[in-house]
């Protein structure tokens, strides 16, 4: 039994490494994927930016359409599972960074959770996004709910998540990213940047669409996914953006392959939890 289990683990690792090599081979130095298209690397950033500028004001609607509203449950579970906040016996507040977090939903949710559970009103949050339109949406929400508007603890920053050049190394306790990393031109560069900005002992925490493990459920989801661009056209008058978003999900590595990429960045204690049959997954790792 022990040998069988050990062999199974080795087989999974080998399969993951093969998939990682295959996935990397599709990314040359000069080209990358934008949905189903192969485009020059320098063009993808603008193309993705155009997509999110288009959907910024309808961001929640977009996620509701793509997940049948379940994204709200996933995000709530993501925040509760992380369980982050300054503990009562701690003298130091936490420094959070939420990348690709322009809408503010994860950032505000994390701060709300820290306050409600730990009475933490000191921890800070950098809300980082490459897209100014998404950041404006987050600032608008902060203004509407008033709680985090002009709060010195919350800082909105235009930043490329693959570089994070305005964020000092070893400065953050918690790095979160929700439904954003699959849109990076170079995902490995983004993981490397996450590792750099975290303090030793800091936590990387990622929520992203993934690969469904049940063949029957996967078939049903694929049929649903074919309808999403049409629904995007109906509810948001935006077929092309929804088509890209569906294709970006299909292109994203599976759970084991992405786990290998996180490990490659240097993280330890790497793991993941699949949600809703693997429609999405929470991934984590610790900087040592």
Secondary-structure percent of the chain, ordered helix, strand, coil, rounded to 5: 55, 20, 25
Residue 32 clears pLDDT 70, i.e. is over it: yes
The answer to whether 73 touches 61, Cβ cutoff 8 Å, is no
Q: What is the spatial distance between Cα 176 and Cα 184, in angstroms, rounded to a whole number?
A: 15
- Binding positions are 103, 129, 160-161, 178
User: Which of 275 and 60 is assigned the larger pLDDT?
Assistant: 275
Mean pLDDT of 12-32: 58
1: tokens are: 């039994």
The beta strand positions in the chain, using DSSP E, are 31-34, 37-40, 95-99, 124-129, 154-158, 172-178, 198-209, 268-275, 280-286
Distance CA 195, CA 97 (A): 12
pLDDT at 29: 64
Per-residue pLDDT at 236: 79
**pLDDT > 80? residue 165:** yes
Q: Which fold has domain 31-287?
A: Rossmann fold (3.40.50)
Render pLDDT for 170-193 as a digit per residue (tens, 0 to 9): 999 999 999 999 999 999 999 999
Q: pLDDT at residue 277 above 50? A: yes
The pLDDT of 41-63, averaged and rounded, is: 81
Q: What is the pLDDT of residue 283?
A: 99
Between 55 and 117, the more confident residue is 117
Quote the pLDDT of residue 9: 45
Window from 5-19, 170-184, 202-216 with minimum mean pLDDT: 5-19
Question: What's the chain's average pLDDT?
Answer: 89
Q: pLDDT band at residue 116, thresholds of 50, 70 and 90?
A: very high
For 63-71, what is the mean pLDDT? 84
Instruction: Give the C-alpha separation, 85 to 121, whole Å.
Output: 9
Domain spans of the chain, in order of start: 31-287
Q: Residues annotated in the binding site for S-adenosyl-L-methionine, as ranges? A: 103, 129, 160-161, 178
């Amino acid at each position: 039994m022990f040998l069988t289990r050990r062999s199974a683990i080795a087989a999974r690792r080998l399969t993951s490494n093969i998939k990682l090599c295959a996935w990397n081979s599709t990314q040359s130095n000069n080209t990358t994927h934008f949905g189903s298209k192969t485009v020059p690397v320098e063009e993808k950033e603008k193309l993705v930016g155009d997509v999110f500028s288009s959907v910024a004001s309808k961001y929640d609607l977009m996620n509701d359409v793509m997940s049948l509203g379940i994204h709200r449950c996933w995000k709530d579970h993501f925040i509760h599972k992380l369980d982050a906040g300054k503990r009562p016996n701690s003298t130091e507040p936490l420094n959070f960074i939420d990348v690709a977090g322009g809408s503010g939903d994860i950032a505000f949710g994390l701060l709300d959770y820290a306050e409600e559970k730990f009475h933490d009103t000191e921890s800070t949050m950098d809300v980082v996004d490459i897209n100014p339109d998404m950041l404006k949406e987050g600032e608008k929400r902060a203004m509407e709910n008033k709680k985090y508007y002009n709060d010195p603890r919350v800082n909105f920053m235009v930043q490329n998540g693959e570089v994070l050049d305005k964020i000092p190394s070893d400065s953050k306790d918690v790095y979160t990213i929700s439904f954003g990393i699959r849109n990076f031109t170079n995902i490995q560069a983004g993981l490397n940047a996450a590792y750099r900005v975290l303090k030793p002992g800091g936590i990387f925490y990622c929520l992203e669409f993934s690969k469904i493990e049940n063949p029957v459920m996967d078939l049903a989801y694929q049929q649903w996914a074919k309808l999403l661009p049409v629904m995007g056209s109906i509810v948001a008058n935006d077929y092309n953006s929804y088509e890209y978003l569906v294709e970006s999900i299909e292109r994203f590595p599976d759970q084991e392959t992405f786990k290998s990429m996180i490990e490659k960045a240097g993280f330890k204690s790497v793991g993941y939890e699949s949600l809703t049959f693997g429609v999405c997954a929470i991934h984590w790792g610790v900087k040592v």
